[in-house]
Structure 1
């Protein structure tokens, strides 16, 4: 369970900080909500306490996990489909999971693919969205500016070369 001040990832919204708990009446029943302030956005979300475990909300990455993600991003991807529709469906499904490694897979695969062939408009948008979410989570976890983290990720992705 989360407590006030915890840094969390909130798929599909991004990352945030648990600000507190609120009690509200819904349909004549009292419901307790977690209020999560989303970082980089002037908004917050309310998540019912009773459904927080099934919501996909999780703690942000540990430093050890971040190193694993950076190493993963530096690997050459395998089995990237040549068919746009197959790639797109796989990437959409990966993003829906809320899993950080799946998010990193989308970033890594689309970056690698863009070196071979220009990405379609929707793939560019998907890359930017996934790239931004990955960088935001790492930045919040490390307490670093998002811009600095983005530069580090770009440097890692740039270093991935065809064998």
Structure 2
């Protein structure tokens, strides 16, 4: 089980990027339980995630510079066999968006970008595409590594292409 420390950047779907500000103890049904306190930059929002089971809440470490080459590859070359039938595609896309997995999001974004260039996207697919780009951008926004710059550049390009169609 991954232990988090004060100052760690984490992702807590569906809230996005947060920072562990420490731990605290809170009573639940009269029994004290330890929680990570997660603050979300530029908001007054905070979340409390059980120290014993952060993964059950979906909390995971945020991407680092070391993750950027693999993320960039997925954004450029990722392929996803999305169902052509709308209802099945919508289920699959929603599953990926809710998971918050950045590599799956990057693969989805690459596939939807390919669809957008080839034939344009229907409105709900366009919304999913925007959401995937936004989630990825949140995660790489504060990274300063050179590969993070390339990822942000590609995300900006994809976002601007999306608004043209």
TM-score by length of 2: 0.80
Cα distance change on mapping 1:40 and 1:69 into 2, 3 Å: farther
8 A contact 2:97–2:131 mirrored in 1: no
Q: CA deviation at 1:118?
A: 2.6
The match for 2:56 is 54
Change (3 A) 1:83 1:40: farther
Q: Which residue of 2 aligns with 1:3?
A: 5
Alignment deviations for residues 88-139 of structure 1 (CA, whole Å, 9 cap, x no partner): 2211122233322111122111111111223222222211111111111112
Distance (Å, rounded) in 2 between the aligned partners of 1:108 and 1:4: 34
Q: Which residue in 2 is equivalent to 1:134?
A: 136
Structure of greater relative contact order (alpha carbons < 8 Å, 6+ residues apart): 1
State the number of aligned residues.
157
Structure 1 residue aligned with 2:112: 110
Partner of 1:19: 21
Shift of 1:68: 1.0
Q: Which region of structure 1 is more displaced relative to structure 2, 73-82 or 8-17? A: 73-82
Cα distance in 1, alignment partners of residues 101 and 78 from structure 2: 20
Distance 1:42 1:127, change over 3 A: farther
TM, length-normalised to structure 1: 0.81
